């Protein structure tokens, strides 16, 4: 059966995450919507696991683009009765501007068709006609209403019905509600941490050797209830903050008290982590290392090159240590920064050190960034040979 997924702000990372969790899917892409074939499909579990997906559901029909009309959608509504009053939203994606313009009045046509069938109907809409996951959740359109996505691909239109949306409140709470947040040293967004954990595909044990406030450990503990997790950092204050954050998860009933027993914290440099974990191996290492001194955008080329060399040196020293702690096939998912300035891009790229340490890169680096940022996060996936 065909399913659909709506990607978030970084589609390349979202697709890589989907492939790590579901398998090597070959999607039909329609703008930010992916149409895939999937039989074993637990929509609630997938929506919870996939940080890069804002909503997902089923493809309930597939028609020629010029055949889409209000009657077809009304038939699908009546085939899925959900109450006396019908609430619906429609998002149209993909295709050309002309294609989307031709479907511009589809919501009105659906409303009129349903009214002619004696139904009480309300069409709900948002910015540019699109509903946010928060609005879909608030209106309960996945169970008491209908959130349609019309995905145009060539001359074909896929009629999709949303079954799950991202829990924005839960993500915001873990990001902005956690007690320890250090803006000076940088904060790994929980969504990106979750995507990185998924890309690492952990099975038994996960290590974050630059754990900061413990975001990776938090997301890994939530994703995998039987995973052994170790977080280490050279800064004792960061480790204290990590403990505070994970304890807060328990106090908020997001984690269970026994989950804390699976997480160990170490104060030490990443270059000597092996001495603190003698004999330990980790099939997954997920980390955002030092991203350099915060930039203003006015730095000279010499300063930027110095920053690049400092960060690269740290990775050159750390990669052999981490490699020795991983079995063949183990994955290391890390952030290497790119410094973006008017002078150009200064990239941290210790790939030679990684290869010398026994790693091979999987695919190409994936960039996570906002246009206004001076430091772009480059996500690399390494596998131990």
Per-residue pLDDT band at 135 (split at 50, 70, 90):
very high
141 and 188 in a single domain? The answer is no
Domain limits at 72?
2-166
Question: Does pLDDT of 207 surpass 70?
Answer: yes
Q: How far is residue 75's CA from residue 88's CA, in Å, rounded to a whole number?
A: 14
Question: Does pLDDT of 169 surpass 70?
Answer: yes
Query: Pick from 166, 201, 231: which residue ends a domain?
Result: 166
Q: How far is residue 70's CA from residue 105's CA, in Å, rounded to a whole number?
A: 9
Residue bearing the bigger pLDDT, 272 or 293: 272
pLDDT of amino acid 129: 73
145 and 176 in a single domain? The answer is no
Per-residue pLDDT band at 343 (split at 50, 70, 90):
confident
Relative orientation angle of helices 236-251 and 215-223, to the nearest 10 degrees: 40
Handedness of CA 319, 305, 239, 252 (dihedral sign): negative
Query: How many domains are contained in the chain?
Result: 2
88 and 195 in a single domain? The answer is no
Q: How far is residue 191's CA from residue 247's CA, in Å, rounded to a whole number?
A: 20
Query: Pick from 166, 193, 219: which residue ends a domain?
Result: 166
150 and 193 in a single domain? The answer is no
Per-residue pLDDT band at 372 (split at 50, 70, 90):
confident
pLDDT of amino acid 28: 97
DSSP letters spanning 79-128: TS---SEEEEEEEEEES-HHHHHHTTTHHHHHHHHHHHTT-EEEE---GG
Question: Does pLDDT of 63 surpass 80?
Answer: yes
Question: Does pLDDT of 41 surpass 70?
Answer: yes
pLDDT of amino acid 370: 87
Instruction: Read off the pLDDT of residues 185-198 as tens digits, 9 standing for 90 and up.
Output: 668 999 999 999 99
Residues with Cβ < 8 Å from 188, sequence gap 6 or more?
A: 212, 213, 215, 216, 288, 335
**Could you tell me how far CA 23 lies from the centroid of its own chain?**
16
Instruction: Read off the pLDDT of residues 224-237 as tens digits, 9 standing for 90 and up.
Output: 999 999 999 999 99
pLDDT of amino acid 193: 98
Tokens of 222: 């939530």
The overall average pLDDT reported for the chain is 95
191 and 86 in a single domain? The answer is no
* HSE toward the beta carbon, residue 365, CA cutoff 13 A: 18
Query: Pick from 166, 183, 217: which residue ends a domain?
Result: 166
DSSP letters spanning 198-252: HHH--SSEEEETT-TTTHHHHHHHHH-TT-EEEEEES-HHHHHHHHHHHHHHHHT
CATH of the domain at 275: 3.40.50.150
CATH of the domain at 43: 3.30.2130.30
- Work out the percent of the chain whose per-residue pLDDT is above 90: 91
Tokens of 31: 């703008």
31 and 149 in a single domain? The answer is yes
221 and 93 in a single domain? The answer is no
103 and 181 in a single domain? The answer is no
Q: What is the mean pLDDT of residues 204-214?
A: 97
161 and 215 in a single domain? The answer is no
pLDDT of amino acid 12: 97
Q: How far is residue 256's CA from residue 259's CA, in Å, rounded to a whole number?
A: 5
Instruction: Read off the pLDDT of residues 245-280 as tens digits, 9 standing for 90 and up.
Output: 999 999 999 999 999 999 999 999 999 999 999 999
17 and 68 in a single domain? The answer is yes
143 and 177 in a single domain? The answer is no
35 and 110 in a single domain? The answer is yes
């Amino acid at each position: 059966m065909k399913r659909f997924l709506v990607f978030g702000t970084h589609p390349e990372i979202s697709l890589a995450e989907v492939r790590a969790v579901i398998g090597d899917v070959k999607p039909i892409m329609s703008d930010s919507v992916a149409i895939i074939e999937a039989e074993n499909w637990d929509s609630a579990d997938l929506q919870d696991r996939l940080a890069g997906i804002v909503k997902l559901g089923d493809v309930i029909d597939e028609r020629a683009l010029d055949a889409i009309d209000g009657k077809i959608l009304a038939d699908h509504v009546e085939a899925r009765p959900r109450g006396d009053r019908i609430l619906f939203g429609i998002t149209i994606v993909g295709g050309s501007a002309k294609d989307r313009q031709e479907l511009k009045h589809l919501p009105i046509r659906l409303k009129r068709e349903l009214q002619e069938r004696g139904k009480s109907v309300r069409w709900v809409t948002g910015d540019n006609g699109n509903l946010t996951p928060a609005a879909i959740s608030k209106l309960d359109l996945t169970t008491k209403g209908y959130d349609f996505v019309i995905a145009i691909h060539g001359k074909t239109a896929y009629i999709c019905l949303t079954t799950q949306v991202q829990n924005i409140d839960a993500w915001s709470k873990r990001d902005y509600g956690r007690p320890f947040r250090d803006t000076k040293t940088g904060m790994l967004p929980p969504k990106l941490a979750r995507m990185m954990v998924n890309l690492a595909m952990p099975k038994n044990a996960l290590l974050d050797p630059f754990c900061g406030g413990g975001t990776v450990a938090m997301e890994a503990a939530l994703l995998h209830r039987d995973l052994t997790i170790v977080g280490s950092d050279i800064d004792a204050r960061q480790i204290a903050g990590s403990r505070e954050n994970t304890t807060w998860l328990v106090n908020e009933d997001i984690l269970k008290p026994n989950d804390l027993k699976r997480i160990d914290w170490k104060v030490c440099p990443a270059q000597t982590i092996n001495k603190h974990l003698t004999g330990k191996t980790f099939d997954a290492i997920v980390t955002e290392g030092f991203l350099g001194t915060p930039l203003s955008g006015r730095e000279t080329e010499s300063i930027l090159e110095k920053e690049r060399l400092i960060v690269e040196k740290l990775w050159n020293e750390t990669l052999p240590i981490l490699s020795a702690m991983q079995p063949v096939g183990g994955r290391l998912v890390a952030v290497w920064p790119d410094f973006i300035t008017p002078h150009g891009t200064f990239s941290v790229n210790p790939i030679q050190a990684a290869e010398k340490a026994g790693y091979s890169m999987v695919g190409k680096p994936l960039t996570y960034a906002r246009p206004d940022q001076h430091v772009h996060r480059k996500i690399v996936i390494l596998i131990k040979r």
